[in-house]
A and B are shown apart, each in its own frame.
Chain A
Amino acid sequence: MFRKAKSPVWVCVPAVVCLIAGVKLASPQAGTSKTDFVRDVQPVLARSCFGCHGEKAQMGGLRLDARAAALKGGQTGKVIVPGNATSSLLYQRVAGTSDQARMPMGAKPLAAAEIAVIKTWIEQGAEWPEGVGAKASEAKKHWAFVPPVKAALPAVKNAAWAKNAIDRFVLAKLEAEGLQPSMEADRTTLLRRLSLDLTGLPPTPAEVDVFVKDKSRNAYEKQVERLLASPHYGERWGRHWLDAARYADSDGFEKDKPRNVWFYRDWVINALNRDLGYDKFITEQLAGDLLPNPAQDQLVATGFLRNSMINEEGGIDPEQFRMEAMFDRMDAIGRSVLGLTVQCSQCHNHKYDPFLQEDYYKIFAYLNNSHEANAAVYTPQEQQKRAELFRRMHEIEADLQHRTPDWRKRMSEWEARVKNDQPEWVVLRPEVDDISTGGQKYSLQPDGSFLAAGYAPTKHTVKMTAKTDLQNITAFRIELMNDPNLPLSGPGRSVLGTAALSEFMVEAAPVSDPKMITKVKFVKATADLNLPERELDPMYADKSKKRRVTGPVSYAIDGMDETAWSNDADPGRRNLPRKAVFVADRPIANAGGSILTILLRQNHGGWNSDDNQNHNLGRFRLSMTTATDAVADPVPAGVREILGVAEAQRTPAQTRTVFAYWRTTVPEWKQANAEIEALWQQYPAGSSQLVLSERGSMRSTHVLARGDFLKPGREIAPGVPAFLNPLPSGAPGNRLGLARWLTDRNAPTTARAMVNRVWQTYFGTGIVATSEDLGRQSEPPSHPELLDWLSVELMDRGWSMKSLHRMIVTSATYRQSSKVTPDLQEKDPFNRLLARGPRFRVEAEIVRDIALAASGLLNAKVGGPSVNPPAPEFLFLPPASYGPKQWPESKGAERYRRALYTFRYRSVPYPMLQTFDAPNGDFACVRRARSNTPLQALTTLNEPLFIETARALAKKTLAEGGKDDAQRIQYAFRRCLSRPPSAAERDELQTLLARARARYQSGGLKPEEMNGGEADARLAGWTAVARVLLNLDETITKE
Chain B
Amino acid sequence: MKTNSIARRWFLKDCSIGLGAMAMQQLTAASANPLAPKKPHYEPRAKRVIFLFMAGAPSHLEMFDFKPQLAKFDGTLPPPDLLKGYRAAFINPNSKLMGPKFKFARYGQNGTELSELIPHTAKIVDEIAIVKSMATDAFNHAPGQLLMNTGTMQFGRPSMGAWVTYGLGSEANDLPAFVVFSSGKKGPSGGNSCWGSGFLPTVYQGVQFRGSGDPVLYLSNPSGVDTQLQRDSLDSIRRLNEMHKASVGDPEIDTRINSFEMAFKMQASAPELMDLSKEPKHVLDLYGAVPGKPSFANNCLLARRLIERGVRFVQLYHEAWDQHGSLVRDIKINCKDTDQASAALVLDLKQRGLLKDTLVVWGGEFGRTPMVQGGGDDGRDHHPNAFTMWMAGGGVKPGLVMGETDELGFNVTKDKVHVHDLHATIMHLLGFEHTKLTYRFQGRDYRLTDVHGELVNKLLA
Contact = CB atoms under 8 A, between A and B. Distances in A.
Contacts of B163: none
Interface stretch (B12-20, B43-51, B345-353): B12-20
A860 interface: no
B69 interface: no
In the complex, which range does the number of interface residues on chain B fall in?
Answer: 35 or more
B259 A985 contact: no
B381 A1009 contact: no
A372 interface: no
Contacts of B413: none
Interface string B80-115: 000000011111100000000000000000000000
Contact of A819 (B184, B239, B249): B249
Interface stretch (B124-132, B229-237, B307-315): B229-237
Given A256-B191, A435-B375, A1033-B244, A929 B155 contact: no
Interface stretch (B70-78, B273-281, B397-405, B441-449): B441-449
Given A313-B141, A988-B239, A10 B185 contact: no
B142 A988 contact: no
Interface string B177-215: 000001111111111110001000111000110100100
A825 B249 contact: yes
Contacts of A839: 248, 250, 252
B240 interface: yes
A1032 to B, nearest CB: 6
Contacts of A243: none
A807 to B, nearest CB: 25
B193 A922 contact: yes
B243 interface: yes
A908 B191 contact: yes
Nearest to B372: A435
B243 A825 contact: no
Given A7-B451, A932-B256, A934-B266, A947 B222 contact: yes
Contacts of B445: 9-10, 12
Contacts of A218: none
A382 interface: no
A911 B182 CA distance: 17
A315 B56 CA distance: 13
A880 B187 contact: yes
B32 interface: no
Contacts of A1007: 224
A732 B251 CA distance: 54
A882 B224 contact: no
Nearest to B373: A435
A1011 B186 contact: no
B214 to A, nearest CB: 9
B243 A985 contact: yes
Contacts of B217: 872, 911, 915, 935, 938-939, 943
Interface residues of A, number: 116
A458 interface: no
B14 to A, nearest CB: 6
A434 B191 CA distance: 28
B222 A996 contact: no
B155 A2 contact: no
A775 B263 CA distance: 41
A882 B186 contact: yes
Interface stretch (A25-33, A86-94, A547-555, A1023-1031): A1023-1031
Nearest to B262: A934
A829 B9 contact: yes
Given A9-B451, A933-B203, A435 B374 contact: yes
B89 A315 contact: yes
A225 B187 CA distance: 49
Contact of B250 (A776, A818, A883): A818
Interface in A965-1024: 982, 984-985, 988-989, 991-992, 995-996, 999, 1005-1011, 1020, 1023-1024
B25 to A, nearest CB: 15
A775 B266 contact: no
Contact of B319 (A351, A772, A879): A879
A768 B256 CA distance: 27
Contacts of B3: none
B216 interface: yes
A48 B16 CA distance: 32
Interface in A736-757: none
Contact of A1020 (B186, B218, B224, B454): B224
A985 B443 contact: no
Contacts of A341: 442-444
Interface centre among A778, A839, A879, A1034 (most CB of B within 10 A): A879
Interface of A: 1-2, 4-10, 12, 252-254, 256, 309, 311, 313-317, 324, 327, 341, 343-344, 351-352, 434-435, 439, 765, 769-770, 772-773, 775-779, 818-822, 825-826, 829-830, 839-841, 872, 874, 878-883, 906-909, 911, 914-915, 917, 920, 922-923, 927, 929-939, 941-944, 947, 982, 984-985, 988-989, 991-992, 995-996, 999, 1005-1011, 1020, 1023-1024, 1027-1028, 1031-1034, 1039
5 contacts: A317-B87, A777-B444, A818-B250, A880-B187, A1033-B253
Given A9-B445, A996-B229, A1031-B237, 14 more contacts: A253-B190, A344-B444, A825-B5, A829-B5, A841-B252, A883-B186, A906-B191, A923-B155, A929-B14, A932-B10, A984-B243, A989-B236, A1010-B225, A1034-B241
> What 7 A-B pairs are tightest by C-beta distance, nearest first?
A907-B191, A315-B89, A777-B443, A1010-B224, A1009-B224, A254-B189, A937-B263
